[in-house]
């Protein structure tokens, strides 16, 4: 029952986010490469390649070796995700804020199960971006420490 409530709440949040996003301009389309580091849950590194189109982004990630709160990450972990991006009309010093809500499949991480939600907030400087993101199964699986990353994205 609790799992169904979480899924329903996530669907409602996604609906609100996509409605709010419809009135703003999308982030720049195209490919990007990201590098990052885990924060709060350990000392892992990450690398990603992604493609943005309008308000959507699809990406493939590699999480590196390192120590986590639940023990060592002794092998590479891989992830694929699809996210809905939204950007309110807030700007500061030519930077725009954005957020994301999405789903991800993660293979090989001791921090999360296979099927996860991906959320994030970022600051975009015309395609170059810093983003704080979180992967979590929302307690739908027993393995749910989560992965928190701070990433830097470069467009190409």
The β-bridge partners of 60 are: 49, 80
Counting the structural domains of the chain, the total is 1
pLDDT of 42 > 90? The answer is no
Structure tokens, 98: 């954005």
Cα separation values, 78 from 59, 105, 150, Å: 11, 8, 17
**Domain interval for residue 27:** 2-155
Q: Which two three-digit tokens encode residue 26?
A: 């999308």
Per-residue pLDDT band for 15 (boundaries 50, 70, 90) equals very low
Query: Rounded to an integer, what distance in angstroms lies between the CA atom of residue 104 and that of residue 119?
Result: 10
Helix-strand-coil split of the chain, %, nearest 5: 15, 55, 30
Condensed to tens digits (0 to 9), the pLDDT of residues 82-136 reads 999 998 887 888 899 999 999 999 998 878 889 999 999 999 998 899 999 999 9
Q: How large a percentage of the chain has pLDDT more than 90?
A: 49
Please give the pLDDT value at position 18: 44
Q: Determine the pLDDT at residue 109.
A: 84
Token pair belonging to 94: 């030519």
Instruction: Look up tokens 């609906």; give the residue.
Output: 15
109 DSSP assignment:
-
136-156: average pLDDT: 88
pLDDT at 8 over 60: no
Which CATH number do you get for residue 74? 2.40.160
Residue 20: pLDDT over 90: no
Whole-angstrom Cα distance, residue 9 to residue 100? 16
């Amino acid at each position: 029952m609790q799992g169904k409530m979480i899924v329903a709440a996530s669907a409602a949040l996604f609906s609100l986010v996509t409605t709010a996003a419809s009135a703003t301009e999308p982030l720049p389309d195209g490919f990007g490469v990201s590098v990052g580091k885990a924060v709060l849950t350990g000392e892992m590194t990450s690398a990603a390649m992604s493609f943005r189109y309008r308000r959507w982004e699809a990406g493939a990630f590699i999480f590196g070796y390192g120590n986590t709160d639940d023990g060592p990450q002794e092998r590479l972990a891989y992830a694929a995700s699809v996210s809905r991006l939204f950007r309110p009309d807030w700007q500061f010093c030519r930077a725009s804020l954005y957020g994301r809500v999405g789903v991800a499949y993660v293979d090989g991480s001791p921090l999360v199960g296979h099927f996860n939600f991906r959320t994030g907030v970022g600051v975009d400087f015309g395609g170059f971006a810093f983003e704080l993101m979180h992967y979590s199964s929302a307690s739908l699986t027993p393995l749910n420490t989560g992965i928190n990353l701070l990433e830097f994205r470069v467009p190409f």
